[in-house]
């Protein structure tokens, strides 16, 4: 979700003319970060869809309460109500940790209200020839439903949004499908749609139609993203173990009003912007180095740019040699623990002139000069 130059601390001339030789900041590839997040996201989607299947899915044999916000009325619809749901309708429910209770009160709501699913297209499996979906067919199961989502819903969402869906953005493609009992009763109606998923697959509420929103995959400054087995998870309180902390959201549209800038051009601009943001957020130009943290950002690719996404996050974390992130506790603005221990600042560089870089094969310069 692109190769990138990773930022380092700027030269002394760019840091209030300090006379100390800068020590390189630890580096992390944002493209690797994005791939790690993407890998977790894929697993989370499968886990989430499996949980949905185990919990009984969406059983339309029960009445679906429909809320008419404009009229201030609500009533229970008959079983044909959901069958009439079309593109642009929004659904919500009360989430529950109990699989038997979750999604049992699915309701259509006004899309300006908070909801967890926006319908992009209906999908009626009874119209497909063959025995797989015919009368008496075996319940597909979570993995098959995931395949059906990929086979049908990705194109449906792209068509619904007029090819303005950001596959790397904050929203994801989803599928609502019947429970096993409803399937055995002959229900073959599904709904392709759009949802806002956390990294671990939890569906989060959002308001308004997706078509009118910035889909940039960014978090507010000060958000800490949790950690699970060295991989980023869901937002947590910064006092809890986390992988990284968001320090700024940068809008690229002002700097690049035209076509998609190259990764090199993005990096050249973001290195300065994110470094300045880190210095301001942490309180000094030395804080990042002293806390042994890594400054990193992501890049926008063509699909995101064409969908209208223009924002990226600058973040700080701690890369580990084995890949992924170390667990940080505490906000980077104050005292932190890294894997349970306070960070040990690197040795201070000597005052005075920067030491020259020796030529290949040359002897190291005398330390006293």
| Nearest of 37, 1, 18 to residue 284 by alpha carbon | 18
Phi, psi at 236, each rounded to 5°: -140, 165
How high is the pLDDT of residue 352?
Answer: 59
Question: What residue ranges do the domains of the chain occupy?
Answer: 38-212, 216-338
Query: What's the CA dihedral at 134, 137, 143, 146 to 10 degrees?
Result: 20
Give the pair of three-digit tokens for residue 38.
């993407």
Cβ contact 82:57 at 8 Å? no
Per-position b or e across 144-163, b if 16+ CB within 10 A of its CB: ebbebbeebbeebbbebbee
How high is the pLDDT of residue 287?
Answer: 95
How high is the pLDDT of residue 347?
Answer: 85
CA distances 175 to 130, 151, 178, 205, 352, Å, are: 22, 11, 10, 16, 63
pLDDT tens-digit series, residues 155-198: 999 999 998 999 999 999 999 988 888 899 999 999 999 999 88
Q: How far apart are CA 255 and CA 182, in angstroms?
A: 53
Residue with tokens 């937002």, as numbered in its chain:
235
Q: How far apart are CA 253 and CA 216, in angstroms?
A: 12
- Report the predicted TM-score, pTM, of the whole model to 2 decimal places: 0.70
- Positions of the chain with pLDDT under 50: 1-80, 357-358, 360-365, 368-369
Q: 64-68 and 73-77: which strand pairing?
A: antiparallel
HEC letters along the chain: CCCCCCCCCCCHHHCCCCCCCCCCCCCCCHHHHHHHHHHHHHHHHHHHHHHHHHCCCCCCCCCEEEEECCCCEEEEECCHHHHCCCCCCEEECCCCCCCCCCCCCCEEECCCCCECEEEEEEEEHHHCCCCCCCCCCCCCCHHHHHHHHHHHHHHHHHHHCCCCCCCCCCCEEEEECCCHHHHHCCCCEEEEEEEEECCCCCEECECCCHHHCCCCCCCCCCCEEEEECCEEEEEECCCCCEEEEEEEEEECCCCCCCCCCCHHHHHHHHHHHHHHHHHHHHCCCCHHHHCCCEEEECCCCHHHHHCCCCEEEEEEECECCCCCECCEECCCCCCCEECCECCCCCCCCCCCCCCCCCCCCCCCCCCCC
How high is the pLDDT of residue 312?
Answer: 96
> What is the maximum span of the chain, computed from C-alpha positions, in angstroms?
87
Residue 84's contacts (CB-CB under 8 Å, 6 or more residues apart) are none
Cβ contact 49:175 at 8 Å? yes
CA distances 111 to 55, 142, 176, Å, are: 25, 28, 17
């Amino acid at each position: 979700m692109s190769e990138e130059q990773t930022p380092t601390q700027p030269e002394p001339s760019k840091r209030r003319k300090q006379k100390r030789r800068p020590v390189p900041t630890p580096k992390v590839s944002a493209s690797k970060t994005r791939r790690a997040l993407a890998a977790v996201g894929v697993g989370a989607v499968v886990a989430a869809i499996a949980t949905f299947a185990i919990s009984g899915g969406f059983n339309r044999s029960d009445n679906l309460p429909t809320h008419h916000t404009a009229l201030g009325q609500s009533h229970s619809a008959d079983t044909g109500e959901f069958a009439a749901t079309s593109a642009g309708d929004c659904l919500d429910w009360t989430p529950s940790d109990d699989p038997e209770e979750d999604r049992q009160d699915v309701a259509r709501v006004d899309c300006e209200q908070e909801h967890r699913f926006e319908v992009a297209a209906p999908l009626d499996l009874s119209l497909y020839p063959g025995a797989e979906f015919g009368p008496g067919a075996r319940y597909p199961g979570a993995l098959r439903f995931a395949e059906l989502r990929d086979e049908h819903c990705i194109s449906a969402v792209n068509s619904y949004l007029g090819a303005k869906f950001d596959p790397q953005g904050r929203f994801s493609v989803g599928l609502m499908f019947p429970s096993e009992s409803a399937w055995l009763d002959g229900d073959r109606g599904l709904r392709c749609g759009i949802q806002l998923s956390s990294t671990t697959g939890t569906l989060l509420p959002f308001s308004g139609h997706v078509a009118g929103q910035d889909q940039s995959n960014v978090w507010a400054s000060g958000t800490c993203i949790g950690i699970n087995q060295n991989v980023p998870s869901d937002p947590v309180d910064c006092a809890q173990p986390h992988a990284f902390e968001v320090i700024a959201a940068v809008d690229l549209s002002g700097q690049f009003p035209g076509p998609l800038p190259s990764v090199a051009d993005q990096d050249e601009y973001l290195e300065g912007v994110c470094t300045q943001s880190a210095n301001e957020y942490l309180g000094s130009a030395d804080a990042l180095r002293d806390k042994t943290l890594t400054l990193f950002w992501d890049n926008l690719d063509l699909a995101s740019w064409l969908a209208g996404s223009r924002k990226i996050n600058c973040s700080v974390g701690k890369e580990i040699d084995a890949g992924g992130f170390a667990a940080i506790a505490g906000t980077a603005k104050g005292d932190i623990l890294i894997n349970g221990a306070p960070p040990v600042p690197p040795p201070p560089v000597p005052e005075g002139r920067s030491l020259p870089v020796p030529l290949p094969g040359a002897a190291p310069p005398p330390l006293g000069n």
